[in-house]
């Protein structure tokens, strides 16, 4: 057992995959000579060579398209797209090809791709570099979407992603790379579709993922001082989605708030709210609340950007407004 950063956990997972399976190779912009835009692939080019660590042109559609072809031919590519915003340029390859080929071929073709990408705001990178679009991909049958919040989950989920026979979007939040946590030396993997209770409580359920989990935990600490015990659920994957853990919590607390950094309109948080309303309506003491990103492009100014993102104070005030606690 040792404490490492989330960045180190992802690096460890990639190194393991390269060491144990000769079919695995990495491809992406600046992942080789430049050592990786977020330093996750630092030193890998020297260790594994150009055949397995492939720097690519700045053309996301070509990169993902080439990975789809490689996967169809029996390889297991891990693609790094610098930010999830740039994955829009490869949307056709992801949604119309990677996600559908197994179904359209009646299982004759498999596309075991992991697409690693960076999501989220809060780093003052401007409106076109700070979006949380993982919910868009989570709406597509044939894709799986993992959203780790800490080093333990990052490594466990990445191991599962690399072994999966379907395409996986692996979204790493830009503000979580320095988060530290204990990771055991013994091998483990985290199954997709298995949420985690990060904090137990009886008074209100806070449902979140990725950086939102840390925001929810901050809110829970504030609520505790008021005598309110919040239960925090970390979804860990958006597709498949663990509805059972969420519903079990809501049936216990009778109250729920969903935290989602994406915009409120059409955000994945709305899917969670709908699921709770449909399946646990009789357990609710009031409507399910949402704390989401404001309906604006991400500001560059740090103070303005912070005000547009969910924070602990907004979670607490939402609980007070809806439930009076």
For tokens 């995959």, name the residue. Answer: 17
Alpha-carbon gap, residue 72 to 284, rounded angstroms:
47
129 an active-site residue? yes
Q: Which two tokens stand for residue 241?
A: 């989605």
User: Which of 212, 13, 215 is CA-nearest to residue 119?
Assistant: 212
CA 120 to chain CA mean position, Å: 9
Strands 230-234 and 2-5 come out as unpaired
Q: Which of 29, 60, 172, 231 is catalytic?
A: 60
Neighbours of 2 (CB within 10 A): 9
Identify whether 46 is preceded by a cis peptide bond (ω within 30 of 0): no
H helices of 227-296, in order, are: 243-253, 268-279
Beta strands in 63-203 (DSSP E): 76-81, 114-119, 144-146, 168-173, 180-183, 196-199
User: Which of 84, 28, 35 is CA-nearest to residue 59?
Assistant: 28
CA 124 to chain CA mean position, Å: 20
Exposure string of 86-122, with b = 16+ CB inside 10 Å and e = fewer, is bbbbbbebbbebbbbbbeeeeeeebbbbbbbbbbbbb
Helix H or strand E segment including 155: helix 151-163
224 an active-site residue? no
Taking the chain, what is the end-to-end CA distance rounded to the nearest angstrom?
Answer: 40
Q: Which of 129, 214, 231, 305 is catalytic?
A: 129
Residues annotated as catalytic are 60, 129
């Amino acid at each position: 057992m040792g404490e490492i950063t989330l960045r180190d956990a992802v690096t460890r997972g990639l190194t393991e995959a390269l060491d144990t399976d000769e079919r695995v190779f990495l491809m992406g912009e600046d992942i080789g000579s430049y050592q990786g835009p977020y330093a996750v692939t630092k030193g890998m080019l020297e260790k594994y060579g150009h055949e397995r660590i492939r720097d690519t042109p700045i053309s996301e559609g070509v990169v993902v398209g080439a990975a789809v072809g490689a996967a169809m031919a029996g390889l297991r590519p891990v693609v790094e797209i610098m930010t999830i915003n740039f994955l829009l340029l490869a949307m056709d390859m992801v949604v119309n090809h990677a996600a559908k080929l197994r179904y359209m071929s009646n299982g004759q073709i498999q596309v075991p791709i992991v697409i690693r990408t960076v999501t989220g705001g809060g780093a003052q990178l401007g409106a076109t570099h700070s979006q949380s679009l993982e919910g868009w991909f989570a709406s597509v049958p044939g894709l799986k979407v993992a959203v780790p919040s800490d080093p333990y989950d990052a490594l466990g989920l990445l191991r599962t992603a690399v072994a999966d026979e379907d395409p996986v979007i692996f979204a790493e939040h830009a503000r979580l790379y320095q988060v530290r946590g204990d990771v055991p030396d013994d091998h483990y993997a985290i199954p997709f579709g298995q949420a985690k209770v990060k904090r137990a409580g009886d008074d209100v359920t806070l449902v979140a993922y990725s950086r939102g989990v840390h925001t929810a935990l901050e809110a829970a600490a504030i609520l505790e001082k008021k005598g309110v015990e919040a239960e925090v659920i970390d979804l860990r994957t958006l597709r498949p989605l663990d509805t059972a853990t969420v519903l079990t919590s809501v049936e216990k607390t009778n109250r729920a708030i969903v935290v989602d950094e994406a915009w409120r309109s059409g955000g994945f948080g709305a899917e969670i709210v709908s699921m709770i309303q449909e399946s646990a309506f009789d357990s609710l003491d009031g409507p399910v609340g949402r704390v989401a990103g404001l309906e604006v492009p991400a500001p560059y100014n740090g103070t303005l950007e912070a005000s547009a993102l969910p924070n602990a104070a907004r979670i607490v005030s939402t609980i007070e407004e809806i439930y009076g606690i």
